[in-house]
Amino acid sequence: MTDLDHRIANTIRGLSMDAVQAANSGHPGMPLGMADVATVLWTRFLRYDPTDAAWPDRDRFVLSGGHGSMLLYSMLHLTGTSLSIEDLKSFRQWGSKCAGHPEHGEAPGIETTTGPLGQGFANAVGMAVAEAWLRARFGEGLMNHWTYMTCGDGDMMEGITAEAASFAGHQKLGRLICLWDDNKITIDGSTDLTFTEDVGARFEAQGWHVQRIDGHDGEAISAALAAARDVTDRPSLIACRTTIGFGSPNKAGKSAAHGAPLGVDEVRLTKQRLGLDPDVHFAVPADVVAGVRANDADRKTLREAWEARVADSPKGAELRSFFSGELDVDAVAWPVHAAGTSLATRKSGETALLAAAAAIPNLIGGSADLAESNFTHIKGASVFQPASRDGRNVAFGIREHAMAAICNGLSLHGGVRPYGATFLIFHDYMRPAVRLSALMHQPVVYVYTHDSVWVGEDGPTHQPIETLQAIRLIPNCRVIRPADANEASEAWRLALVHTTGPTALALTRQNLPTLDRAVYPPARSITKGAYVLRDVADPAVVIIGTGSEVHLALEAAELLAAEGIAARVVNMACQELYDEQDAAYKIGVLPRGVPRVSVEAGTTRGWERYVGLDGASVGIDRFGASAPGKTVCEKLGVNVGAVVAAARRVVRDG
C-alpha cells in the first residue's frame, strides 16, 4: 500500500474509533481490521459516482457484517456520497442516519439493511442474480457491474449463508465477490471454540473460486480482486486474514475489540500507534479526501457515458421503466372466473400470476422446490440458469431462508419485481428475511400455499396454526387471504401495486366455490381489506371470515336466518388494509354495538382486536392432526355448526 493508502485506511480507523467512543456503543474491531481492504476496494475497483448513488449500473457494495457499520459510514463520508461529519458524530443516536447497523433508505450508498448475520450475504447473491438477468436482457452495454460484499466469521456460521452460497455456486455468478474478514475472533473468543472447519474448502466444494491473502497487504488485496474479476464462471471468495482491532496495543486480535468501545485511553494509544493525532477527534485530512476523490471526474464520466448509451439504445426506455419500480397492472388481462366453478386459490393464483407475467416482463421468481404444488412456474419462460440467464423462473431449491433474502436482494438491486413461494408452514424458515423485507419497505411478493389444516394428511408438521397471525405481527407486511378465484386475482393485483412493503398471499390447497358476484359485491372490494359480503337490514350478529372460512360464514348465516337471527357476513381478506381505512368505513363494516364472531382455520389469538372481549372466535388453538382436511376441520371445531353455536351464544349474551 502507498503512504496515501495507509493514511486513508487509518482515517477510516480514526473515524470509526471516535464515533463508537462518542456513542459509548458500537463495534470498532471490524472497521479497524478491514480498513485496508475497504481502501483498496473503494479507491481501485468499486465503480460508483458519488453524485448519483442510485446509478443503476453502479457496482453494489454490501456490508453483511452490519455491526461494522462505521466502516461503511466512513467510506460514504470520505467519498462524498453521503453523510457529513455531524452525521458520524451522531452515530447510534435518535434520528441519526448512522444507525447502529446500516439501514437501507437512511442515506444514499446504503444498499441494504444488515445486522442479522448472513442476510447481507444472501442479499448480495440476489443482487448478482438481478445483474445477470438484466445483462442477459439488455446486453453488457447497458448492464455490466459487480456485486461486492464483506462478511465475517459470524456470517460464515449462519445457515442462510450456506444456503445462499450453494445457490450462487450452482448459478456460477461470476460477478459476485465476497471479501471474508477472516480474523478468527467472535464475541465469545477465538473461533477455535466453535468453528474449525475449512471454510475455503467448503466454498470450493460449492463451486466458488477461492483465494487466501493477507488482508493488510494492499498489493495482495488488489491482486486478489483483479483475479476474482477475471473469473467469470464462478463467484469468488477472498479470505482476508486480518487482525480484529488492528492497531490497538491492548485489544488487537482479541474479542474485547469486537463489540464495545476501546475506551478513551486505548483510543489514544491506538491513534498514536497509527500515526494519528490523539487530541483530534473525527479528523479528515484534506489529502486523504483528495486521494479518495481523485478519480471522481472519471466516475462521473463513466456514469454519463452509460446514460448516453441508454438514451441511444432502443432498449433504453424499457430499462428505465424497469428501474422506475412502477408496474402497469392495468395492462394485465386479469382472469375472471365464472360463478359456481370450484378452484383452489393456489390454482386461480397461478392464472393471475401468468396473466401478470404476460404483461409485466420483469416479474421474476420461483419456489423453494415446490413450484408444482405452489403453481408459481411462469409457463413459456425458461428457468434462470448459467446457460439461460434470461430465465424468469428461479429454481431456489429447498432453501426457504435464502430464497426470501435473495428476493430482497433482487428487489434492492432494482429493475426486477421478485416473488418467492413455498407452503405457508415454511414461513418459519423465512421469517427473518421477510421481516427485513418489511423493515426495508421492499415490495417482495411471498406466495404461501397450503394455508391451513385443510392440508390434511401430511399432518401437524405441515398444518399452519399460528403462522398467519405470526406474519400479521410483522409491521408493514400485508397478509391477503382471498376467499375465491376472483379474489385471488385481486390479491395478486394488490400485491403488485404495493411498492412500500411485502405482501404475503395465503392460498388454499383445497378447492373453493367461486362466489356469484351478481349476488355479492365485486371481488375488487378486498382493496379495502374487509367488506360486507352478505348484509341484512338490522344485523343481530356480524360473522367475520377469511379465505376458505368465508364460505363457512355464509353457510352459517343462512342457518341462523332460518332461526330468526339476522347475520351480516364480513370478508376480512386483509387485516392490514382494513386497518388503513378511515373510521367511517371501518364502522360501516363492523358496526358498534353488534356482537361479532370470527372464523379462521388457525389460532384465535389476535382476533379479539376485531370481535372484542364480548365476541367469539372459532379457530384452532392446538396443533392439527393427520387425516383428510375436511375431517380435521370437523374434529377440531372449524365447521358451520361451531360458527352457528358461537353466533347464538354472543347474541344471547349480548
- pLDDT beyond 80 at 58: yes
In the annotation, is 400 catalytic? yes
Calculate mean pLDDT across residues 388-406.
98
pLDDT digits (tens, 9 = 90+) for 359-380: 999 999 999 999 999 999 999 9
Alpha helices, DSSP H only, in 264-344? Answer: 264-274, 286-292, 296-312, 316-324
Q: For residue 343, give Cα distances in angstroms to 35, 354, 533, 603.
A: 58, 16, 19, 25
pLDDT of residue 516: 98
Q: For residue 265, give Cα distances in angstroms to 247, 249, 262.
A: 13, 11, 8
Contact 241, 182 (CB under 8 A): yes
- Mention every residue, 6+ apart, whose C-beta is less than 8 A from residue 446: 404, 407, 419, 420, 421, 427, 430, 434, 437, 502, 503, 504, 505
pLDDT digits (tens, 9 = 90+) for 235-289: 999 999 999 999 999 999 999 999 999 999 999 999 999 999 999 999 999 999 9
Q: Give yes or no: residues 558 and 509 share one domain.
A: no
Q: Give yes or no: residues 335 and 442 share one domain.
A: yes
Q: Give yes or no: residues 412 and 507 share one domain.
A: yes
The answer to whether residue 269 sits within a structural domain is: yes
Q: Pick the catalytic residue: 163, 400, 487, 576?
A: 400
pLDDT digits (tens, 9 = 90+) for 179-190: 999 999 999 999
Mean of pLDDT over the chain: 98
Contact 362, 417 (CB under 8 A): yes
Percent of the chain with pLDDT over 90: 99
Amino acid letter at 70?
M
- pLDDT beyond 90 at 515: yes
- Mention every residue, 6+ apart, whose C-beta is less than 8 A from residue 355: 332, 333, 334, 335, 489
pLDDT digits (tens, 9 = 90+) for 586-598: 999 999 999 999 9
Q: Give yes or no: residues 535 and 504 share one domain.
A: no
pTM above 0.85, yes or no: yes
Of 298, 321, 349, the residue that ends a domain is 298
103: left (phi over 0), alpha (psi -120 to 50) or beta: beta
Q: For residue 77, give Cα distances in angstroms to 29, 93, 246, 271, 282.
A: 19, 18, 21, 20, 11
Distance CA 427, CA 422 (A): 8
pLDDT digits (tens, 9 = 90+) for 449-480: 999 999 999 999 999 999 999 999 999 999 99
Q: Give yes or no: residues 534 and 509 share one domain.
A: no
Q: Give yes or no: residues 267 and 372 share one domain.
A: no
Residue found under cell 352459517 = 556
Distance CA 264, CA 618 (A): 60
Q: What total of structural domains would you count in the chain?
A: 3
pLDDT of residue 438: 99
- pLDDT beyond 90 at 1: no
Q: Give yes or no: residues 334 and 426 share one domain.
A: yes
The answer to whether residue 310 sits within a structural domain is: no
pLDDT digits (tens, 9 = 90+) for 4-24: 999 999 999 999 999 999 999
Of 251, 279, 298, the residue that ends a domain is 298
Question: Is the Cα dihedral 99, 104, 110, 111 positive or negative?
Answer: positive
Q: For residue 510, give Cα distances in angstroms to 257, 453, 485, 582.
A: 56, 10, 12, 34
DSSP state of 92: T
pLDDT of residue 69: 98
CATH of the domain at 461: 3.40.50.970
Question: Is the Cα dihedral 488, 491, 496, 497 positive or negative?
Answer: positive
**Cα angle at 573 between 569 and 579, to 5 degrees?**
95
The answer to whether residue 211 sits within a structural domain is: yes
The answer to whether residue 303 sits within a structural domain is: no
Q: Give yes or no: residues 508 and 534 share one domain.
A: no
- pLDDT beyond 80 at 176: yes
pLDDT of residue 654: 77
- pLDDT beyond 80 at 540: yes
> What count of Cα atoms within 13 Å lies in the side-chain half-sphere of residue 19?
36
Of 484, 513, 542, the residue that ends a domain is 513
Distance CA 506, CA 237 (A): 38
Beta bridge partners of 234: none
Distance CA 33, CA 240 (A): 10
- pLDDT beyond 90 at 489: yes
Beta bridge partners of 599: 545, 618
The answer to whether residue 307 sits within a structural domain is: no
Calculate mean pLDDT across residues 35-60.
98
Distance CA 266, CA 303 (A): 43
Amino acid letter at 194?
T
338: left (phi over 0), alpha (psi -120 to 50) or beta: beta
The answer to whether residue 475 sits within a structural domain is: yes
Largest separation between any pair of C-alpha atoms in the chain: 90
CATH of the domain at 592: 3.40.50.920
- Mention every residue, 6+ apart, whose C-beta is less than 8 A from residue 582: none
Beta bridge partners of 568: 542
- pLDDT beyond 90 at 117: yes
Question: Is the Cα dihedral 44, 46, 51, 56 positive or negative?
Answer: positive
Q: Give yes or no: residues 129 and 263 share one domain.
A: yes
Q: Environment class of residue 411 by beta-carbon count within 10 Å: exposed (0-12), middle (13-18) or buried (19+)? A: buried
- pLDDT beyond 80 at 565: yes
pLDDT of residue 590: 98
pLDDT digits (tens, 9 = 90+) for 130-175: 999 999 999 999 999 999 999 999 999 999 999 999 999 999 999 9
Q: For residue 569, give Cα distances in angstroms to 487, 525, 546, 597, 639.
A: 16, 14, 11, 10, 15
For residue 644, give the nearest of 599, 610, 605 by alpha carbon.
599
Q: Give yes or no: residues 396 and 469 share one domain.
A: yes
Distance CA 624, CA 600 (A): 14
pLDDT of residue 535: 97
Amino acid letter at 14?
G
Distance CA 293, CA 584 (A): 56
Q: Give yes or no: residues 370 and 494 share one domain.
A: yes
Calculate mean pLDDT across residues 606-621.
97
| CA 354 centroid distance within chain | 23
The answer to whether residue 583 sits within a structural domain is: yes
The answer to whether residue 319 sits within a structural domain is: no
pLDDT of residue 271: 98
Q: Give yes or no: residues 119 and 258 share one domain.
A: yes
- pLDDT beyond 80 at 220: yes
Calculate mean pLDDT across residues 83-106.
98
- To the nearest 10°, the Cα dihedral for 63, 67, 73, 78? -80
| Ordered strands of the 478-480 beta sheet | 393-395, 363-367, 417-423, 445-449, 503-506, 478-480
Amino acid letter at 95?
G
Give the domain range for residue 400: 329-513
